[in-house]
Amino acid sequence: MRVSRQHEWTVSVNQPQQSPPERGLEVRLASRPRGWPTPENFEIAEVPIKRPGPGQLLVRNEVMSVDPYMRGRMNAGRSYVPPFEVGRALEGGAVGEVVADGSGRFRPGQKVVHSLGWREYALVDAGSARVVDPDVAPLGSYLGVLGMVGLTAYVGLFDVAAFTPRDTVFVSAAAGAVGSLVGQMARLRGSPRVIGSAGSAEKVRYLTEELGFDAAFNYKDGPVAEQLGVAAPDGVDVYFDNVGGDHLEAAIEVLNEHGRVACCGAVSQYNAPEPPPGPHNMFKIVTKRLTLKGFIVGDSARRMPDLVNEVGGWLRDGRLRERQTVVRGLRNAPDAFLGMLRGENIGKMLVTL
Ligand SMILES: NC(=O)c1ccc[n+]([C@@H]2O[C@H](COP(=O)([O-])OP(=O)(O)OC[C@H]3O[C@@H](n4cnc5c(N)ncnc54)[C@H](OP(=O)(O)O)[C@@H]3O)[C@@H](O)[C@H]2O)c1
């Protein structure tokens, strides 16, 4: 797998319009994993490219997202999104160029964000596509800081955890897509102390030396509870939980009275064949009067304009940084996904097509 890290994107606009080829590639779910997924759970298929009917547009995908929630969709069973179907193409956020429009609402050449990634060409319902401007931000940012990922950080920190500028904040998976934004947003809104955990020394350095975290630790170096206790001598007021498990247990231990937890995800458990036991210290939720609140970003689309205004401003001023780990080629998308689950990304993991 070829992985390259880059901070800047080169985006080609005004490319000459070409008619789409007859056939294109898509990545399908070949079988449902039990435990950690493997490359054998994916298959690449060549399919005919259909022309758009009324209300549809044909998009040539340029960048697609791989996200932890996709692991849940590989399982059978009901959740907040339907499972992927075996033998069918996977789905997920993507940005691409409109090559043909049957809706009368888009122009060929426009860039749109939509939810049919994992394929070279996507036949998209016009109602589920949104035009994005490559002159305002690189295309990948619409899958990151200016998209679902940024909104998750923004809503989780400011609405769900009800952050105030007095709050010391701890965030796990802090060098990842959501976590790296949570820490920066807390700092920019005035947090006195921002603490992050991540899975390598390189990531810890990135957090403290480049993103302005006040403290960070590698959770693989020793028990999370011990390391967090050292990093947070005065406790924490907000824990943004991306990881669950021992991280949540350690956070409950150091949370101050009336502390809040934004329960965003539990990536440490997504590949567990059986649900692991919960934290042993749940009674401290009572004694410290803690609030733990789960959320799904899709419920908060109304906050998108606020994200674009406030966080877009920080981005323009250079006060907030976005980093991406980019894997090239649709055929490498399964490796990018598996690599993200293993922690090979810094910032947002993306695939360019
Ligand atoms: N609630 C919502 O609406 C919503 C929306 C988006 C995302 N999420 C959740 O937010 C979390 C972060 O998502 P993301 O897109 O920003 O992914 P990400 O952090 O960019 O990538 C996943 C990261 O998880 C870390 N990780 C993997 N196994 C781990 C383990 N056993 N213990 C601790 N860390 C582990 C890895 O980093 P290390 O090297 O640090 O281990 C990896 O880089 C996920 O739990 C995701 O499900 C929730």
Same domain membership, residue 162 and residue 206? yes
> Would 186 be classed as within a structural domain?
yes
Same domain membership, residue 272 and residue 152? yes
**What CATH code is carried by the domain that includes residue 199?**
3.40.50.720
Same domain membership, residue 184 and residue 290? yes
Name the residue at shortest CA distance from atom 41 of ligand 1. Answer: 199
Q: Which residues contact 317 (CB under 8 A, 6 or more apart)?
A: none
Beta strands in 82-206 (DSSP E): 94-101, 111-114, 121-125, 130-132, 169-171, 194-198
Which atom in ligand 1 lies closest to the alpha carbon of residue 349?
20
CA 216 to CA 219: how far, in whole Å? Answer: 9
What is the structure's pLDDT at 79? 87
> Would 12 be classed as within a structural domain?
no
Distance 7 CA to ligand 1 centre (A): 20
> Which residues surround ligand 1 with Cβ inside 6 Å?
67-69, 149, 152, 173, 175-179, 198-200, 203, 219, 242-243, 264-265, 267-268, 295-297, 340-341, 343, 345, 349
pTM over 0.85: yes
**What CATH code is carried by the domain that includes residue 81?**
3.90.180.10
Closest CA to 234 of 212, 214, 207, 249: 214
Per-residue pLDDT of the chain (353 residues; tens, 9 = 90+): 333 333 333 333 334 456 888 999 999 999 999 999 999 999 999 999 999 999 999 999 999 999 999 999 999 988 888 999 999 999 999 999 999 999 999 999 999 999 999 999 999 999 999 999 999 999 999 999 999 999 999 999 999 999 999 999 999 999 999 999 999 999 999 999 999 999 999 999 999 999 999 999 999 999 999 999 999 999 999 999 999 999 999 999 999 999 999 999 999 999 998 888 889 999 999 999 999 999 999 999 999 999 999 999 999 999 999 999 999 999 999 999 999 999 999 999 999 99
Distance 61 CA to ligand 1 centre (A): 24
Residue 283 lies in domain = 148-298
Same domain membership, residue 28 and residue 107? yes
Residue where a domain stops, chosen among 252, 282, 298: 298
Same domain membership, residue 213 and residue 115? no
Distance 258 CA to ligand 1 centre (A): 26
Distance 241 CA to ligand 1 centre (A): 9
Same domain membership, residue 194 and residue 236? yes
CA 175 to CA 265: how far, in whole Å? Answer: 15
Q: Which residues contact 150 (CB under 8 A, 6 or more apart)?
A: 144, 181, 307, 311
Number of domains in the chain: 2
> Would 10 be classed as within a structural domain?
no
Distance 267 CA to ligand 1 centre (A): 5
Strands 56-65 and 348-352: antiparallel
Cα dihedral value 71, 75, 79, 80, nearest 10: 40
Phi and psi angles of residue 256, each rounded to the nearest 5 degrees, phi first = -75, 165
What is the structure's pLDDT at 17? 52
What is the structure's pLDDT at 345? 98
Same domain membership, residue 182 and residue 105? no
- Alpha helices, DSSP H only, in 21-170? 69-73, 148-154
Strands 194-198 and 169-171: parallel
